[in-house]
């Protein structure tokens, strides 16, 4: 290692060779140091451009997405878990309340088809908020066999479902901390065969909100089949075969065929599971017309909400039947949405639906839906 003398003691070179060697060593050191600095600077730039900046960018984007999700999932209500005794055991549910004021009524939610939990995976939140803004609490529970609730929803008839709803209402009315002075039923899709049974069997229901409900089980099934074939652009041959297959299944249902007989006769890539076959077998003859007539005798307001792009239910038939039965007690709203009143883009595109549901659930539904819902509840509270 070359050691340089202090400035006060200048280097003494005894000859030209020594001076040349000293200068050479110093120049070599300076050159080495310069290359070292240049190398370090290059490496740091590469680390900065390849690692640090991307990490910082990712962190910024992540922070923005988290902030958006937090804001998008921040709703104007409070919520607590409840446990409700049902006909087949305990039902796990949630009671949603307005955040800043006492509720003046209670919405009781009646699910559509499928294994639905109390919040439908959080997708009910816009409905909860709409009711809350109108001054209503909402009571919803997981179907039997779903999310810890006792029983099995696939073993239920529509009458069983109506009995379950009545049991929940009785529980609510027995608890002073549940605002049940005014009770409104909200029901979607399959609930169309449940709502009128509940209304006609009680005298304490003040209003009904029906979302995309059907009239006749078999006609609804055929409508859905044909609408989906049209949507998928099926060929004439594909359409004909699908109808033949549907008719074969109907014949089996009318013969009350066992599941084994169904498996032998069915020629489909999408076979029902045994529990589902049993569920359909006991409910396929459902028709809401008679129960709707009975419910009309209670003289309460009904509000039908339909999506103009509904491929599941013939909402034109539903509206026609409801109007003929309820007359002036019925109001109807039409949203530019699908069966669930969701925007068609989020229903038809799984990725768009997933992203919207995660970051901004309010945008799932067609724009006018929740405002219309809240308006109906507000009118009820004012009457």
pLDDT one-digit tens code per residue, 81-115: 999 999 999 999 999 999 988 999 999 999 999 99
225 pLDDT exceeds 80?
Answer: yes
Do residues 174 and 323 share a domain?
Answer: yes
Q: Is the residue at 6 inside a domain?
A: no
Pair 211, 340 in one domain = yes
Do both 140 and 224 map to the same domain? no
378 near 135, Cβ under 8 Å?
yes
Q: CATH number of the domain that 155 lies in?
A: 3.40.50.1820
Domain boundary among 44, 72, 100: 72
User: How confident is the model at residue 357, as a pLDDT?
Assistant: 73
User: Do residues 103 and 138 both lie within one domain?
Assistant: yes
Residue 264, domain member (yes or no): yes
pLDDT of the residue at 346: 80
Residues 51 and 104 in one domain: no
Same domain, 113 and 164: yes
Residue 13 falls within a domain, yes or no?
no
Per-residue model confidence (pLDDT) at position 297: 97
The reply to whether 12 falls in a domain is no
**Co-location of 305 and 268 in the same domain:** no
Terminal Cα distance for the chain, rounded: 98
| Contact residues for 75 (Cβ-Cβ < 8 A; gap 6+) | 125, 126, 128, 129, 132
Share of the chain above pLDDT 90, in %: 73
At residue 47 the predicted structure's pLDDT band, cuts being 50, 70 and 90, is low
Same structural domain for residues 140 and 199?
A: yes
In this predicted structure, the answer to whether residue 76 has a pLDDT above a threshold of 70 is yes
State yes or no: pLDDT of 7 exceeds 90.
no
Instruction: Say yes or no: 120 and 254 in one domain.
Output: no
Residue 326 has pLDDT above 70, yes or no: yes
Residues 361 and 74 sit within 8 Å (Cβ to Cβ): no
Same domain, yes or no, for 149 and 276? Answer: no
pLDDT band at 258 (very low <50, low <70, confident <90, very high): very high
- 36-40, 105-109, 115-119: least confident range: 36-40
Beta-sheet pairing, 207-211 with 302-307 = parallel
Residue 13 confidence (pLDDT): 44
| Residue 237 structural domain | 219-282
Asked if residue 319 is part of any domain, the answer here is: yes
**Banded pLDDT at 38 (limits 50, 70, 90):** low
Q: Based on the domain organization, do 368 and 322 belong to the same domain?
A: yes
Domain count, the chain: 3
In a domain, 2, yes or no: no
CB 132 within 8 A of CB 77: yes
Read off the pTM. Answer: 0.81
Structural domain includes residue 8: no
Please check the confidence at residue 269 and state whether its pLDDT lies above 90.
no
The pLDDT of residue 68 is 46
CA dist 68 to 58, 60, 175, 314, 356, Å? Answer: 15, 12, 38, 37, 11
The whole-angstrom separation of Cα 34 and Cα 275 is 79
Does residue 211 lie in a domain region?
yes
Judge if 32 and 127 occupy the same domain: no
């Amino acid at each position: 290692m070359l050691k340089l003398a202090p400035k006060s003691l200048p280097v003494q070179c005894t000859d030209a060779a020594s001076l040349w060697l000293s200068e050479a060593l110093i120049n070599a050191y300076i050159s080495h140091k310069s290359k070292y600095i240049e190398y370090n600077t290059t490496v740091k730039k590469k680390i900065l451009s390849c690692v640090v900046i991307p990490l910082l960018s990712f962190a910024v984007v992540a922070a923005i997405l988290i902030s958006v999700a937090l804001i998008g999932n921040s709703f104007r209500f409070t919520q607590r878990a409840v446990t409700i005794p049902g006909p087949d055991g305990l039902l796990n549910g949630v009671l949603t309340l307005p955040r800043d004021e006492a509720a003046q009524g209670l919405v009781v939610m009646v699910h559509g088809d499928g294994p639905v939990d109390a919040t439908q995976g959080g997708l009910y939140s816009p409905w909860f908020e709409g009711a809350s803004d109108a001054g209503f609490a909402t009571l919803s529970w997981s179907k039997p066999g779903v999310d810890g609730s006792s029983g099995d929803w696939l073993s239920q008839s529509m009458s069983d479902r109506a009995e379950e709803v009545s049991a929940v209402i009785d529980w609510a009315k027995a608890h002073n901390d549940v605002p049940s002075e005014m009770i409104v039923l909200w029901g979607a899709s399959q609930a169309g065969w449940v709502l009128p049974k509940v209304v006609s069997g009680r005298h304490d229901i003040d209003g009904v909100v029906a979302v995309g409900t059907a009239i006749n089980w078999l006609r609804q099934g055929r409508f859905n089949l044909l609408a989906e074939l049209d949507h998928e652009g099926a060929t004439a041959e594909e359409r004909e075969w699908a109808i033949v297959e549907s008719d074969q299944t109907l014949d089996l249902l009318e013969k009350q065929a066992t599941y084994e007989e169904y498996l032998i006769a069915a020629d489909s890539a999408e076979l029902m599971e045994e529990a589902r076959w049993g569920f359909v077998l006991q409910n396929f003859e459902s028709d809401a017309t008679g129960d709707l007539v009975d419910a009309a005798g209670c003289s309460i307001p009904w509000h039908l909400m339909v999506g103009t792009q509904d491929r599941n239910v013939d909402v034109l038939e539903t509206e026609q039947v409801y109007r003929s039965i309820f007359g002036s007690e019925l109001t109807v709203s039409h949203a530019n949405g699908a069966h669930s009143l969701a925007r068609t883009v989020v229903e038809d595109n799984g990725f768009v639906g997933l992203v919207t549901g995660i970051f901004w659930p309010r945008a799932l539904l067609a724009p006018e839906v929740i405002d219309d819902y809240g308006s109906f509840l507000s009118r009820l509270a004012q009457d």
